[in-house]
Structure 1
Amino acid sequence: MSVASMSMWCRASCRASSLSLLVGGSTGPLLGGIHNNALVRTLSSSSASAAATPAAAAAVAPEEPPPVEVFVNGESVQVPKGVSVMQACDAAGVDVPRFCYHQRLSIAGNCRMCLVEVTKSPKPVASCAMPIMPGMQIHTETPLVKKAREGVMEFLLANHPLDCPICDQGGECDLQDMSMAYGSDRGRFVEEKRAVEDKNLGPLVKTVMTRCIHCTRCVRFATEVAGVHDLGVTGRGGSAEIGTYLEKALTSEMSGNVIDLCPVGALTSKPYAFTARSWELRPTESVDATDGIGASIRVDARGHEVMRIVPRLNESVNEEWIGDRGRFSYDGLRRQRLDAPYVRGEKGAPLRKATWKDALEAAAHGLRSTPSTKLMAVAGKLADAESICALKDLMAMYDGQNLQVEGVTPSSDAADVRSSYVFNSTLERIEEADAILLVGTDLRKEAPLLNSRLRRSAVYDCVPVASVGPDVDLTYPKKDLGDSAKAIDDLLSGASAFRAVLDGASKPAIIVGAHVLSRPDAYGVLSKCVQLANDVGCVSGDWNGYNVLHECAGRVAALDLGFVPGPKADVATAPGFVYLMNADDEATLASIPEDAFVVYQGHHGDAGAARANVVLPGAAYTEKGATYVNTEGRVQRTKRAVPPPGSAREDWEVVRALSEVAGLALPYDDVDGLRVRMAEVSPTFASVDSVQQSTIWLNGSTYAASKGSSKASTAPFTSSISNYFQADVIGRSSKTMARCVETRGEMYAKTHDVGSTLGELGEPSAHPLGD
C-alpha cells in the first residue's frame, strides 16, 4: 500500500470509528454541541469517509441527511440527525441548565443537571448525552424534572463552601445562578463538609478545589483542545479530586481558558485575584495585538487601569479561546511605560525628560539634516496601520525610500502580491486541509490558537502533518522531515515519502513560518515553497493552501500599505537617520550604525528606547482606536479602553505633529482622513472585519528574481519566537510573564535585558494621570 493510500485509509478508519462513537452506543455522542467543528465534519462526511482515495472521496458527494422532527414541551422543532436532546432543546429556544456540558468538549454527562423527561423512558435522562430519535417527545418543565434538578442542586451544595463573599467568581458564577433557580432556601445537610487541598497549577491559575463540582471541563479542555495531559481525576465517589497527579504547573500556552470554562470558583485567575468585582468593570470590545492571530477580546477596565482581558466569541478567528500571553500580560501595560518625551544630549549622555516641543524639534532637525539616501524607517511588530501609513507619507515627503518591516528581509518586491505573505486558507478553513506541511515554524509558540485547530484536524480527522523545521512537541502526531531547505528539495524531487501524501490530497496546505521571512535566503526558500505549492496543487478552485504565518500584529498591515524599500533605495547604505516605530528587536537594533540619529516611538522603555536619541511616547493597543491586520489579512480595529499614561499620545498623532514641526505637514488632521488615505493606498482597508482574498497567484521565479539571494542555504530552520511569554515589549514588562518564564525553566529562558533602559528612564507612573 502506498503512503498516500495508507494515509487515506487511516483517515477513513479514524472518521468511521469516531462516527460510531458519535451516534451509537450507550455512552451517547463523543463530542459536544452542534457548533463543534469536529462533530459537524464527522457527521457531514460519513458517506465520503469510506472512500480509499481523494478522487473517490470527491466522487462520493456527501448528502445532507433530512432533518428530524422532535417535540419539545409539545412544540415541533426540526433538527439535524445525530444531535443530542440538549441541542434540540436549544434549537427550540428552551434553556436546559448544565454544568459539565460544553459545545466544544466531549460529553461527560456527570453533573446530571440537564435531566429531562422523555416519553416512554422509565426515568429522567441526561439530555447532553442522549441522541434524539424521530418523533421523540421531550419535556423540560414537568414536576419530575424540577424535583430531579432540585435534588442535584442539593447534592452539589451539600459540600460546597459558603465562599461567595470572597470568591472571584461572584457575579459570574453558574452555580450561583442555578442555585437561585433550583436551590432551596435552607439546607438539610448537618454533617461536616468535605475539604480538598488546593493544587499549585502555576502563576496563572488559582485553585480552591473545595469549590470543585467535578464537571471535568478543565480536564477535557487540557486533553482535547490544548493537547496536554496535565489534569485528571483521581479517586472516586466522595474521594474524587481533580489535580495534576504529580505536583506541576500547567504547560499549555492556552491554560488560562480553564478559568472561563470553570462554572464555579474552583479555577480563577491568579493575577486578577481579589482586585475587582465584575460589576465594577467597564467592558470594551477590542482585538488582541500581542500575536498575529488577532483574537477577539474584551478589555475590562476600572478607572484608568486595565484589570483583566478575556476572550470574545469569534468563530472565524479564535472561536472562544485566547492565548496566555494575550490574557495575562496586561500588567505589563502599567510597567516601564514611556509617559513623557525624552531627548539625549551629546553622545554618551543619558536620556533626559523633555517637553513635546523640544523632542519634536530635535527629531525634526535630525530628519531635515540627513540626506534622503540615508533616511530609514522601521515598522515594528506592534505598530498599527494608521501610524505606519503616516510614517510612510512622512518619509515620502523627504524622499526617504529605505522602508523596512521588522522581521522581514528587505525587498522592494516583498509586498507585490498579497497572496505571497498572508494566510490564504484563512484560520477557519484551514481545517478543510487534508494534508499539511509546516516549514520553519513552531506553531505552539507562534500561534497557539491556530495550533489547536490543526490539532483537531490531526487527532480527530487523522490529517497527516509533516514539519520541516525545529523538532518540537506540537501536541499532535507529525512527521519530521528535516530542519533545512534540503528537506524541501526532497519534496520537490519526490525523494521524500510525504510528497505522495501531498500529491494525493485534494486540499493540501503549506504553512510557512515567520522565521523564513527574516533569513538572508528568505526568497530562495520561499521560491521553493511556492514551487512546491504549485506542483502539489495547493491552489485550485476556491482553495489556496499556501499560507504564511506571522507571529505579530503589525507586519501584514505594513506590507499591505507597501512599507517596503522603494525602487531607488539602497538597503546596503548605512543610514544616518533611523525612525523606529515600535521596533525593539535585537536584530533591528544591531544593524543600526553607532553614529546614526535614532528616533524611537513606542509605549515601553525597552531596548529601542535605550538606543534612541529622541524618545516619543505612544499609546498601547488598549489605549487607542487603531487598525490591525491579522495573519490571514483580516482588517480589525481596537477600541480605546483606557487613556495613555502621562503625556503619551496616539502614534499617528505624533507623526502628524512631527511633520508639522519639520515644515511639511501631512494632509490629514483626524483619524477619519487618515483612514481614507489608507484605503487609497490599499483597498484592503476599505472594509473592516473581513478577509479579501487575493485573486492573483505567482510562481517560484517571482521570488527567485527578487532582491537578495535566490538560493536557499543549508542553515537550519528555527522558530521566530524562542520565548513565548516575553515575545514583545508588553510581555517583557509583565511580572506575570516573568513568573511564567521562571516556572517553565530553560524552555522559556529570558532573552532580553532592559535594565539599562530602566536605569535611564526610571520607573514611570504605574497609573495614567491624564491625557
Structure 2
Amino acid sequence: MSDLFKINVDGKEIEVPKSYTLMQACEEAGAEIPRFCYHERLSVAGNCRMCLVEWEGAPKPIASCAQTVGDMRPNRDGSAPNIRTKGPYVEKARNGVMEFLLINHPLDCPICDQGGECDLQDQAVAYGRSGSRYEENKRAVEDKNMGPLVKTIMTRCIQCTRCVRFVAEVGGVEEIGMISRGESAEITTYLEKNLTSELSGNVIDLCPVGALTSKPYAFNARPWELRKTSSIDVMDAMGASIRVDAKGDGVMRIMPEVNEDINEEWLSDKSRFVWDGLARQRLDKPYVRVDGRLKPASWGEAFEAVKAALSKPAEKIGVVAGDLIEVEQAKAALDLFRSLGIQNTDCRPAGAKYGTDGVREHYILNPTLAGVEEADALLLVGVNPRTEAAVWNARIRKTWLWADLKVALIGDAADLTYDYTHLGNSADALNKAETAEFLKGAKRPMIVLGEGALVRDDGDAVLAAAIKLANETGAVADDWAGFGVLHNAAGRVGALDTGFVPGEGGEATAGILGGGMETI
C-alpha cells in the first residue's frame, strides 16, 4: 500500500506522504497558510484556528495544522479531496478568527518592542477586517515575573501556547502553563517562579505577539534600525549560527539562525544575552602585571612588557592560548614562538593530556552534534551537556523523547532533562561489565567524553579506556564513528589542529603556570 496521498490544492493535484498535515500539504503546493500556534518543532496544539482552509464537502472550515492528510477521505468518485486556501469562504473564516483574537488585544503597537516583527501585525493586515465591531472594555491580565531575561506584558497574549510547549518539550522543565478557561485563560509560571531553563530566551523568538520580549533589549531599538550580520557563537564549543544586530557601533541583541546540523533554530541564554558584556565592564585596554597586580597600561607599555618577556631564555617563556583564539591567530603565534625556540606552548586546560598523539579523531566529536539523532545508546563520560552545550542537550532530549535513545552517565549526577542510567562517578566505571553491556546491545552506540574527564591526573588513561571501549562495543565501525570529545571552548579544536601543544621537551599548561615562567 502506497505511503503517498493525492490531494488537490487550489486546483493543483499533488502527492504527499500520509504523515503530512494538511498545512504541510498546502505549503507543498505553494499555498500560504497563516498560523500563530503551529510551529514545526513543537507538538500540534490547534488552538489559534488561523490556519483554516476549505475542504470541499466538509460542514465547516478545517484547521489545517491539526488535520493529517492520511486521515482524509477521497471524494465520492474516488478523486483526490479538494482543498481551497483562498476565496470568500476562507477569507470570511480567517476574518472571524482575527476579529476574535483582537477583541482583547490592547493594540499598543507604538510602544511594543515586537513592533516591526510581529506576526499578529502582519496577519491582521493580510487577513483582518478593516474595522472592529466590539465596543466592550478589553480585559487586562497581570504581568508575570519570569526573571531577568524575559519581559512579560501578558495582556497582549493570544494563548497560542508556543511558550508552554517549548519549555515542556524542548527545555524539559515544565515551568509555564495555562490556567483557567474561556476569557479568564492566561499563561503563567507555576507558583510565580522565575524561568530556570538555560534555553528560556527562545520563548522570545517563539512568541508571535509582544507578550514575551527580551528584557535587556527593551526599548533599545526598532528592528528596521538594526544592521544584521550573520556570525558564529563562541560561548561554547558548538559554534551555533547566530545573527548579530547592531545599531551604530553598539550590539543591541543576538538572535539564532537556522542551522539543522548544529543548533536547529535554538540558542542558549548565555549566547543570546552575552552582548551585555560588550558595553559593561569590558576589557578595552591592556594591563601589565606589576608587583603581582594587574595595572592599566598604554599599548606602548604593553608591547615593551612583551618585548622584555621575549628577551629571556626560551626555556623560561611559556605561551598559553585562550579559549577564544582563532585558527589563524593560533597558527601565526605558533610559528612565531617556534622560530624563537619556545617549546612551552599549550592551548588545553591545566591537567589535560589529549591532542598530543597526532590522531585528530581522538579529540573531536566524530559523530557530530546531529549524529546523536542516529544513535540508539549514548554514554556520557565526565560531561554535563546541559551546562556545557545547552542546545545539544535539547537535541539529545528530542532523540530520547521520539527515538527511544538510551542514555547513561559516568560522572557527577545532574538533572539533564531526560532519564539516564548512572553508572558511577569514577573512571573505573568505564571498565565495568555493566557499561559494556549498555553499549553492546545498541546498533549505533555513541561515547562522548567531556573535558571534566580529561583534565584529571589520569586523563590520558581515561581517554585510552574510552577509545578501547568504543572499539570493543561497536561505537567505532566502518559505517559509524560513535566516539567523540565534547569541548567547552570555541577555540580549542582549531588550536589543537594547528599543533598548539607542547613542543619537544616543552611544558604543558600546568607546568607553565606553576613553573615560574614568563607567561604570555
Q: TM-score, normalized by length of structure 1?
A: 0.65
Q: Where does residue 455 of structure 2 map in the other structure?
A: 518
Contact 1:412 1:565 survives alignment (8 Å):
no
Counterparts of 2:292 and 2:493, CA distance in 1 = 36
Q: Where does residue 559 of structure 1 map in the other structure?
A: 496
- Residues 116-172 of structure 1: per-residue CA shift (max 9 Å, x gap): 011221111000010114622110002111000000000000100021001000000
Counterparts of 1:160 and 1:66, CA distance in 2 = 43
1:321 aligned to which of 262, 266, 290: 266
Contact 1:374 1:574 survives alignment (8 Å):
no
Q: Which has the higher contact order (CA 8 A, sep 6+)?
A: 1
Deviation at 1:227, TM superposition (A): 0.4
Matched letter for residue 436 of structure 1 = L
Q: Where does residue 18 of structure 2 map in the other structure?
A: 81
Change (3 A) 1:332 1:503: same
- Residues 709-747 of structure 1: per-residue CA shift (max 9 Å, x gap): xxxxxxxxxxxxxxxxxxxxxxxxxxxxxxxxxxxxxxx
Counterparts of 1:362 and 1:297, CA distance in 2 = 37
Deviation at 1:574, TM superposition (A): 6.0
2:378 aligned to which of 436, 441, 450: 436
Change (3 A) 1:411 1:479: closer
Q: State the SS of the aligned residue for 1:467.
A: strand
2:173 aligned to which of 228, 232, 241: 228
Q: Where does residue 264 of structure 1 map in the other structure?
A: 209
2:317 equivalent to 1:375: yes
Structure with more strand by fraction: 2
Change (3 A) 1:474 1:68: same
Matched letter for residue 510 of structure 1 = I
- Residues 274-298 of structure 1: per-residue CA shift (max 9 Å, x gap): 1110011000000000101110000
2:102 equivalent to 1:157: yes
2:474 equivalent to 1:537: yes
Q: Where does residue 46 of structure 1 map in the other structure?
A: none
Q: State the SS of the aligned residue for 1:98.
A: coil
2:91 equivalent to 1:146: yes
Counterparts of 1:574 and 1:82, CA distance in 2 = 59
Matched letter for residue 458 of structure 1 = W
Q: Where does residue 386 of structure 1 map in the other structure?
A: 328
2:108 equivalent to 1:166: no
Q: TM-score, normalized by length of structure 2?
A: 0.95
Counterparts of 1:371 and 1:574, CA distance in 2 = 16
Deviation at 1:102, TM superposition (A): 0.2
Counterparts of 2:338 and 2:4, CA distance in 1 = 61
Counterparts of 1:332 and 1:200, CA distance in 2 = 23
Contact 2:353 2:459 survives alignment (8 Å):
no
1:366 aligned to which of 304, 309, 319: 309
Counterparts of 1:435 and 1:317, CA distance in 2 = 20
Contact 1:415 1:564 survives alignment (8 Å):
no
Counterparts of 1:320 and 1:412, CA distance in 2 = 32
Q: State the SS of the aligned residue for 1:83.
A: coil
Contact 1:291 1:446 survives alignment (8 Å):
yes
Matched letter for residue 367 of structure 1 = L
2:518 equivalent to 1:597: yes
Change (3 A) 1:359 1:231: same
Identity of aligned residues (%): 54
How many corresponding residue pairs? 512
Deviation at 1:245, TM superposition (A): 2.4
Q: Where does residue 278 of structure 1 map in the other structure?
A: 223
Q: State the SS of the aligned residue for 2:116.
A: coil
Contact 1:404 1:565 survives alignment (8 Å):
yes
Q: Where does residue 31 of structure 1 map in the other structure?
A: none
Matched letter for residue 374 of structure 2 = E
2:4 equivalent to 1:67: yes
Change (3 A) 1:85 1:410: closer
Q: Where does residue 53 of structure 2 map in the other structure?
A: 116
Q: Where does residue 463 of structure 1 map in the other structure?
A: 405
Change (3 A) 1:412 1:268: closer
Contact 2:317 2:518 survives alignment (8 Å):
no
Structure 1, gaps ≥5 residues long: 1-63, 576-588, 600-771
2:421 equivalent to 1:484: no
Deviation at 1:66, TM superposition (A): 4.4
Contact 2:319 2:346 survives alignment (8 Å):
yes
Q: Name the Cα RMSD after superposition.
A: 1.8
Contact 1:436 1:508 survives alignment (8 Å):
yes
Counterparts of 2:288 and 2:211, CA distance in 1 = 50
Q: Where does residue 442 of structure 2 map in the other structure?
A: 505
Change (3 A) 1:344 1:228: closer
Deviation at 1:567, TM superposition (A): 2.1
Change (3 A) 1:189 1:412: closer
Counterparts of 2:65 and 2:352, CA distance in 1 = 55
Greater alpha carbon shift after TM alignment, 321-330 vs 539-548: 539-548
